[in-house]
Each structure stands twice: as C-alpha cells, then as structure tokens.
Structure 1
Amino acid sequence: MKLDNALRRVWRGIIHPSPRGRVRWAVFFVVVLGISAAVFDAPYWFNRGLGAIRPALGYAGIQIPNVPTIPFRLGLDLQGGAQLVYEADMKDILEADRDDALGGVRDVVERRVNAFGVAEPLVQSSRVGDSYRMVIELAGISDIGEAIRQIGETPILEFKEESVEPSRPLTPEEEMEMNKFNKEVKKSAEDILKKALAPEADFALLAKEFSEDEDSKPDGGSIGFIRPGQTVEPFEKAAFALKVGETGKTLVESQFGYHIIMKTDERETDVDGEKVPEVKVSHILFQTKSPTDIVPPEPWKNTALSGKQLKRAGVSFDPNTNEAEVSLQFDAEGAKLFSEITERNVGKPVAIFLDGAPITVPRVTEKITGGQAVITGNFSVQDAKLLAQRLNAGALPVPISIISEQRVGASLGQESVNKSLVAGLWGFALVALFMIAYYRLPGLLSVLSLGIYAVVVLALFKLIPVTLSMAGIAGLILSLGMAVDANVLIFERLKEELRSGKPLGQAIDEGFRRAWTSIRDGNLTTLIAAGILFWFSSSTIKGFALTLSVGVLVSMFSALVVTRSFLRLISPWFKKKFWYGV
C-alpha cells in the first residue's frame, strides 16, 4: 500500500509537477542536451567506452549503436587548398550578352568543380570595370594543377541521339557463340512451324506454350489489329500478304527474332477521311541474340550538331499556356543537321550534353525545320533561364585565363586551427575567471551554461553543416562574448534587486525580466546586421555572419533558460547575498 502511494506521488509529480519540480525537469533536460551535444561533437571516447562494455550489454540483450563520427567542415584557410582567380575574354561577345555569358561560364565551372569532390567549393563571378572575373576556392584539393587545367577548358555542347549499335565489335568467340545460339533458335522455330501448319494445330495453344513474347503470350499470341507503319517492315509485309485464317508457311525474321504469323481478321478503318487497311494477327516469337545483346550499346551517340551551329538560346513563353520554355536558334548548317536529327528521331529523345553530362533530354514530337525550336517541360522561369544559360555557354564559348593563384598548405591550415583553438581556450578561461571572481555563484553557473552553449553550437555546426574558416571562428568567439554579456546584464539586475531588499527568489525572477528587453534588442540588432552581411557579402564574410547568428541564438537560450534553471535550482541552498556578489 505504501509502495502504491509512493508510485502515485511520483507519477503525479511527473504529470503535474510543482514549481520546484518544473525547475528540476528543466535542469534535467538541459543536462541531457549538453551531454548529448558533447557526445555528438566528440564521439570517440563514448564509442570507445561503449566498445568496452558492449559484451556485457550483449549478454543482457541490449544493443546500443555507435555514435556516427561526423567531421567538422573546414574552409580553405583551415584545411588548405587553393584560391584561383580567372578572367573571362569577352572581346567576341556582344556587350548586352556579356553578363549572361559570364553566368553561363560560372555555371559550367561550378559543375566542373563539383566533379572534383571538394567540400563546399566556392565559385563567384564579378565585374570590375571592363574586366569580368571569377574567384574559385577549392578547400582540401590535392591535384591543383589538374583542377586548373579542367577549369580552363572551353565548354563543349553536343547533341546526341540514342545508340542501337554495340559499343565495340564482337570478338570471334562472341560472334561464334551468337551464331550458334541463333541457329538453335531457328531450328526450334522450324519445328514449331511444322506443328502450326498441321491441319489439327491449335495456334493459340502453341503460342501460349512456346512464344517468347510475354505481352501477347497470355492471349494466344494475338497482338490485335495493326495498320501499315505500326510494326517492323518484315513482319508487316508478311502479315498483310496472308489470307484470313492462314498461317505463314515460312519463318519471318526481324530484329526481334523469328516469327510464326497467323492472320485472323482484316478490315478497313477511316483515318482522317481516308480508308486504311488493318489486319488482326497472332504470332509465336522465338527471340534471337543480336550484337547489342552481347555487347550493350552506349546510351547515346554523337551527331554532327554541336554548339558551333547554335546561334542563341533564350527564354520564351507559350502564347496559349504562358508557360516558360527554352527557344533555340541555329545557323544554316545547324538548321539542316537539326532537321535530319529530328526526322529520324520522332517519338524518341535527343540529349543535349554540356561538358560530357546531359543538361536536358527532350523528346522529339515532329520533324523540325527552319532552324528554330523550343524545349518545353513545365519549366519554372528560373529553370528555363538556367537551361538557356547553359546552352549559351556551349554556343558562345568564353575563354577564361588564370590571373592569380594562391595556395594554402595543409600544415599552414592546421597551424591556424591550433592557434584558433588556443585563443578560444584562453579567452574562455579568462572570461570564466572574471565571472566567478566578480559574480561568485551566478558566475560559476554562467560558466557551466557557457560550456553547454559551446557544445550545442559545435553540434549545430556539424548538423547544418557550417564550413568553418578563420572568419567563422571569429564569429563564434564574438558570440561567446555576447553570451557572457547577456549573463552580465542579468546578474547586474539581480544585484540591484537584492540591494533593494527583495527576497532572493523574487530578485532572480525580476533580474531576468528586467534584463530581457536589453538582451532582446542587442541580439536582434546583431542578427539583423549578420543577415545583411550574409546576403550581400563574399563567402568569408558569410561564414562569419552564419556562425555569429547561430551563436547569438544559442547564447540567448543559454542565458535565459540554462543559467536561469541552474540559479532557480541551487538558490534555496545559497541564500546569503555574499554568494551573489552583493
């Protein structure tokens, strides 16, 4: 009975905690958050300890996975790498087209840089007077010379069509194996043809048993009515030559294999005012092997059309639907080549490649003449603009040349990391000593909350993820100072309330309430400034603005929630004003 009452009290305390209970719960969640963030920041020791006790946990049937090790992203100045500055040669580009041409080149360079596998590469373009430049930062890259070579290559635009040819010739052994297989298939087909031509033959039953056409096999080989042009020529010619109810006396060979064909019906259909003959046929298919079954073809093959024949690509809008589309304009040679390509690929896709990678694969709906075409596809205006930009990058190639190269060695980057770490630790230690010496117990609690602040911020840097540079670390240290500043405002207000004679609990609540407006306004103006820096500045300053913003938001949490929870928990045991610096 006593145990039941105790359990009820515990449960009631969890569901409906007292004011003191709420404080304990807040401290509990803060401690759990801090420990979780610390383990996520540096999982090595946790995983090592877990490995030591895992056998014992296994005996108890408990499985706890390791915490994943996610490294911090380091920027160019910390990880090492290269900063390359290129200048674009615009002398052959019209003045009105130069900004778009530079944007297209930047997009091509970004695609090339991303292929290097570099974390967070940066590509920025700018115009200084009549000079068009691009700044490229590659952190952690190993072969800088190869990167410079690939980045400087002129973009190549290619138009490709589907390939049905093997990617290489068959070897004699492969050809012999294919021929042997096809001979065996032909012999089997001839044996079944004899059965199909027998007077008592059931064609549908034979098709269900022997046909390799999985679509028509369940229907006894019937493929329904066909009209001229709907099937391959050998099949169509044989089918239309038969009489109704007649089975072909010879095998029909097509690209799919050997067919035994039976004509079951015929009729005429009205199509656009014209009578078109149709026949209903069934067949039994015996599949053969072709060279592409042994050596698969490349997905695409080159055509003679390239970016040299493309005069211009731009964004236009469908007059009926007002949807964005991309218009293409070819020169005389390109118009002829494009007409030939579209004629032989009606109903098929034609791929457009830039630098060896497809940027769009439109399907041809009809033969296109006149040298003008549009690419549709439910584009947003931004998507259409990007595609047009990429097409123009290949149509109007802009040569770029390197004018500046700055390399940062990995050892220099590591030295910067070490110095930053030492500076941060010294700064934290001096701040901790000042806070404890001047504010005593609240100062000690603020140091604990700053420790939680630090591990939470670092965990967020991993999760977002944030690329840390020297400027980013500066933003982190500055936000640490702002976190201390928030605590200073709170503690000064607390001391004022205690000097005025208010009880400790009321003084703590009043100190936080009166300090909140100052903390809110100060941090809000900092966040506004950081937002402006992030949107209108270069990558280095963006890193500073991002780390500062994250740090400021977490600092408000650490001061207003963490420090307050600790103070409210521990204050009943330390009621003398001495402990609060009064």
Structure 2
Amino acid sequence: MKKRQGWLFFIIFLLTLSVYLLINYPLQLGLDLQGGSQLTLQIIKDEGKVTTDELEAVNSVIDKRVNNLGVSESNLQTLGGDQLILELPGEQNPLVASRVLGKTALLEFRTQKEGTSTDLKILQVQRLSIKDLMEQYSFAKNSQNEDNFLNVIKDDLKKIEQELNYSSTSNDLYGKLIEIKKYVDNEITNLFIKTDLSGKDLINVGRRQEQTNSNWEVLLTFSNSGGEKFAEITKSIAGTNQLLAIILDGESISEASVGMQFASTGITGGSATISGNFSAENARELEVQLKGGSLPLPIEIVETNTIGALLGSKNILKSLYAAISGLIFVGIFMIFNYRILGFVSVLSLVLYGFFNLAIYSLIPVTLTLPGISGLILSIGMAVDANILIFERIREELYEGNTLTRSIDSGFQRANSSIVDGHITTLLSCFVLFLLGTNFVKGFAATLGIGVLISLFTSLNCSKTILRFFTTYQSLRQKNLYLPKNNF
C-alpha cells in the first residue's frame, strides 16, 4: 500500500514540476510557428568545386556569427554541395542578418605610407561628404519634397566626382553614391601598407559606449603573439605623422595616430579600441563579424523568404485546434468503449501531455509543424499501449479473476508487447534524427521523446491511477470495466 502511495505522490510531484517548467521556461517555436526569415546562401569559388572541408568551414563561421547575433534557435543546414539554408526564427528583417553574414570579415592593420598626409586628408573629407549625402538621400526618400532634395544631392555628388576626377557608371543616384563611396574607401586603403597583424591574432571582441558621447566603440583583445606585433607596429609610427588604419574587407573604418609616449615600447597590454563614430547597431554588427572569424570563401545571399508572425500564429492555432480535437475524440472513444479504464487512460494522457511539453521546454526542443505531428503521433502510441493493457485486463475478468488480480496480470501480460513496440519506434526515430534534414529531425525528436514518456505513463501512471480508483468500493464493480452486454 505504501508503495502505491509513493508512486501516486511521485506522479503528483512530476505534474507540479511540469507546470512549473512550462510557466518559467516557455516553449521555443520554430520558423513556421514563430515567423522569421529564411536565407539561401551561395558559396562562391572561382575555380573548381567547393570541397567538403570548405563547406564545413563556411558552415562553422556562419554558425558562430548567427550565435553572436543572438537569434534564438536558429537553424543552419547544407543544401547540395555549395549552398546553405539559414533559418532565423523571430527575425522579420533579413537585411540585418545579411549585412553581417555576407561579409568576409577580413581584418587588417596597416600603417600609412610616407608623404600621403595631404591626399589622405582630402579623401577623408570626401568620405564624410559622401556619408552625409547618403543620409540626406535616406531622408529625401521619406520626405514630401523628394525630387527637390534628390536634385540637390545630384549636384553635390557631381562636385565630388569632379574633385576626385572620377565618374560613376551606375544608372541610379543611390548606386552612384555607393560606387563613389567604394572608390574613396579603396583610395584610402591604398595609402596604407599591410602589416603581419590581422584578425587571426584576435582572441576576443567586445563593445561599449564611449563616455564622452553616445557613440560606440569596439574593443579588441589580441593573443600573446598578436599583442607583441601590435606593440611593435605602434612603436614604429609613434610620434610621427603616420597613422594606423584598421581595415575591414578592404574598407578603412578607423585611422588613428600613436602618441610620442609610446615611442619606446609601443602600445602594450595586447588590446586596442576601434572608434569610428559607430552607432550601437554598427558596433554590434562589427563585433559579430570579428567574433565569427573570416569566411574562407565569399558567400552571396541568393534568396530571402520571410514568414510573418501572423502566419506563424495561425499555424499555432490550427495545430492547437487539431491537437485538442484529436484528444477529445480519442477521450470520448476510450471512455465509451472502456468505461472506467477509458477514463483512466484520459487522465494518463493528460499527464503524458504535461510531461512531454515540460521536457520540450527543459531540453529545449524547438517546436515546428512536423514536430507537432510527431507529438500527436506519439499520443497515438500512448493510447495504443493503454488499449493493449485494457484488453488484457478484460480477458482476465472474462476468465473470472478478481479485479485486483486482473489489473496486475493485465499489465504484466501487455508489458513485453508494449516495450517491443516502443523500442522499434525509437530505432526508427534514431535513424530519422541521424540522417534526416531539419524538419525530419524535429519530427523524430518529438516522436522519440513522446515514445519514452509513453512507456512511463502507460506502464506506471495508468496502473497507479487505476489502483487508486480501486481503493473505493463503489468503483470495484466489474460492470464498470466490461461492456454491458457481458452481464
């Protein structure tokens, strides 16, 4: 008797724990339920096919960048031999991710060539002018006097082209601005000489807001060898007119002088700061690119799909209606056909549902539509196990055994069949999870977890609840467990 009470209290404890987990650890939803973005990434290689090692290397860098972006439960998988599919649940603006993912993130430290100070100052002024024109363009596109503003921008751009002695070839105004900006960035970069210090020498990247204003800066921490290189480089240009440029993907994002006080030792400590009048978003993007490392091969985003949050909500509602409807019909069938036994199976299924969802939130498991299908299918497995047990109990009652003995014997006789059936299903889930794609893995995961919990609820919870019911004399009548036409 104490053993039965122990199991009953243990089940109540598990139910309470499940409710606690579901309240404090919400279920994580996949792209098809939460909405978000899906990007198809094409790996570009000039000669030959993309090798398996190169594909895995690109996959690894992209995965790091996505993790640093902070997108929860993102999914990255290969497609063919040279493409990747990236899913970003909850991210409704794929442009944010594409700016970070598509760049190669090649970080270089260069020193200024001698005798280029005048040229650099002119180009820096032109760069600021172009940046200002690009901001004006964004404002003009949202203003009522768009044409007037755009005409002013065109005139200013022509002056810059004349000063640079360069003519853009793009047909639209924004394309011209981008082209001129790239030209100026390239010209500035050419005024600096490469050193042996690069992004490969970084061990950590961070960001913080500057104390004097609202701009942000990016913090770099070098390895031991990188710190020594940085000290030597800064020592060589300390107190001179030469600047140190930090260049990302061929674009100089910061040019800084090194004071005379560092002429003897250089800047030691193995760290540096990039201050480029960054906004919080720009600083975060740069941090993500540098943390993720450099892409071994460039990539191009060839397709972008966005699933709205509203569509995801509709999918959730449809899935919820389907699950509740299925449970109601199953419950009606079980109670109608098995009476008290059927009612016990319904309670067992309720426990099964809570335990399942609690495990999903604890691991956590990302729920997708195929994953919900696996959950619903595992409910069928749980019902099937109860039916096997209840039929064995009925057979024992038909043979004239007592109710208590029939329950014990029914569970014992059905035990091997239930275990064998669940093991074969688990093997199938293992193969699907090992070899399947993302959605197939989601289906296999939810089905596999459901099958394991089904073993516990059908063989332990159902028996504990049933034995608890039989402690009441009014519920020990055989006619409550067998069809009426048998009496």
Identify the structure with the greater strand proportion.
1
Shift of 1:26: 1.6
Please state if 1:31 is matched with 2:12: yes
Number of residues of Structure 1 aligned to a counterpart in Structure 2: 323
Which residue is equivalent to 1:269? none
Map 1:104-503 → 2, pairs under 5 A: 104-128=57-81, 132-158=82-108, 304-305=195-196, 341=229, 394=294, 397-503=296-402
Counterpart-to-counterpart distance in 2, 1:402 and 1:465: 30
Counterpart-to-counterpart distance in 1, 2:382 and 2:414: 13
- Could you say what secondary structure the match of 2:91 adopts? coil
Instruction: Give the conservation status (yes or no) of the 8 Å contact 2:62–2:292.
Output: no
Counterpart-to-counterpart distance in 2, 1:155 and 1:140: 25
Counterpart-to-counterpart distance in 2, 1:309 and 1:27: 59
Counterpart-to-counterpart distance in 2, 1:133 and 1:105: 10
Map 1:544-559 → 2, pairs under 5 A: 544-559=443-458
What letter is aligned with 1:119? S
Map 1:532-571 → 2, pairs under 5 A: 532-571=431-470
Counterpart-to-counterpart distance in 1, 2:52 and 2:109: 25
Shift of 1:341: 4.1
Counterpart-to-counterpart distance in 1, 2:324 and 2:200: 62
Which residue is equivalent to 1:76? 31
Which residue is equivalent to 1:203? none
Residue in structure 1 matching 2:56, options 82, 103, 119: 103
Q: Which range moved further: 463-472 or 139-148? A: 139-148
Q: Which residues of structure 1 form unaligned runs of 5+?
A: 1-19, 44-68, 161-301, 311-336, 346-352, 356-389
Deviations 1:369-413 (A, max 9, x none): xxxxxxxxxxxxxxxxxxxxx99984x842211222221100000
What letter is aligned with 2:481? Y
Instruction: Give the conservation status (yes or no) of the 8 Å contact 2:35–2:92.
Output: no
> Alpha carbons of 1:124 and 1:571: their partners in 2 closer, same or farther (altered >3 Å)?
same
Counterpart-to-counterpart distance in 2, 1:112 and 1:39: 33
> Alpha carbons of 1:457 and 1:87: their partners in 2 closer, same or farther (altered >3 Å)?
same
Please provide the CA RMSD for this pair: 3.2
Deviations 1:279-318 (A, max 9, x none): xxxxxxxxxxxxxxxxxxxxxxx972367999xxxxxxxx
> Alpha carbons of 1:472 and 1:309: their partners in 2 closer, same or farther (altered >3 Å)?
closer
TM-score by length of structure 1 reads 0.51
Instruction: Give the conservation status (yes or no) of the 8 Å contact 1:110–1:123.
Output: yes
Identify the structure with the greater helix proportion.
2
Residue in structure 2 matching 1:516, options 412, 415, 434: 415
- Could you say what secondary structure the match of 1:502 adopts? coil
Shift of 1:550: 1.0
- Could you say what secondary structure the match of 1:125 adopts? strand
What letter is aligned with 1:579? L
Counterpart-to-counterpart distance in 1, 2:476 and 2:25: 44
Counterpart-to-counterpart distance in 1, 2:465 and 2:292: 62
> Alpha carbons of 1:149 and 1:512: their partners in 2 closer, same or farther (altered >3 Å)?
same
Counterpart-to-counterpart distance in 1, 2:248 and 2:375: 41
Shift of 1:143: 2.6
Counterpart-to-counterpart distance in 2, 1:343 and 1:429: 72
Map 1:54-65 → 2, pairs under 5 A: none
Counterpart-to-counterpart distance in 2, 1:23 and 1:391: 56
- Could you say what secondary structure the match of 1:115 adopts? helix
What letter is aligned with 2:69? F
What letter is aligned with 1:156? L
Instruction: Give the conservation status (yes or no) of the 8 Å contact 1:90–1:98.
Output: no
Residue in structure 2 matching 1:505, options 404, 410, 418: 404
- Sequence identity of aligned pairs in percent? 40
Which residue is equivalent to 1:192? none
> Alpha carbons of 1:571 and 1:532: their partners in 2 closer, same or farther (altered >3 Å)?
same
Q: Which residues of structure 2 form unaligned runs of 5+?
A: 111-192, 202-224, 234-246, 250-289
Select the structure with the greater relative contact order (CA < 8 A; seq sep ≥ 6): 2
Counterpart-to-counterpart distance in 2, 1:510 and 1:308: 70
Instruction: Give the conservation status (yes or no) of the 8 Å contact 1:101–1:392.
Output: no
- Could you say what secondary structure the match of 2:306 adopts? strand
What letter is aligned with 1:115? N
What letter is aligned with 2:315? S
Please state if 1:580 is matched with 2:471: no
> Alpha carbons of 1:391 and 1:157: their partners in 2 closer, same or farther (altered >3 Å)?
farther
What letter is aligned with 1:152? G
Counterpart-to-counterpart distance in 2, 1:142 and 1:441: 50
Instruction: Give the conservation status (yes or no) of the 8 Å contact 2:74–2:87.
Output: yes
- Could you say what secondary structure the match of 1:305 adopts? strand
> Alpha carbons of 1:461 and 1:308: their partners in 2 closer, same or farther (altered >3 Å)?
closer
Shift of 1:39: 3.8
Which residue is equivalent to 1:314? none
- Could you say what secondary structure the match of 1:84 adopts? strand
> Alpha carbons of 1:538 and 1:159: their partners in 2 closer, same or farther (altered >3 Å)?
farther
Shift of 1:342: 10
What letter is aligned with 1:73? Q
Residue in structure 2 matching 1:87, options 42, 46, 58: 42
Instruction: Give the conservation status (yes or no) of the 8 Å contact 2:42–2:83.
Output: yes
Counterpart-to-counterpart distance in 2, 1:524 and 1:78: 30
Pair member with larger Rg: 1
What letter is aligned with 2:5? R
Instruction: Give the conservation status (yes or no) of the 8 Å contact 1:81–1:141.
Output: yes
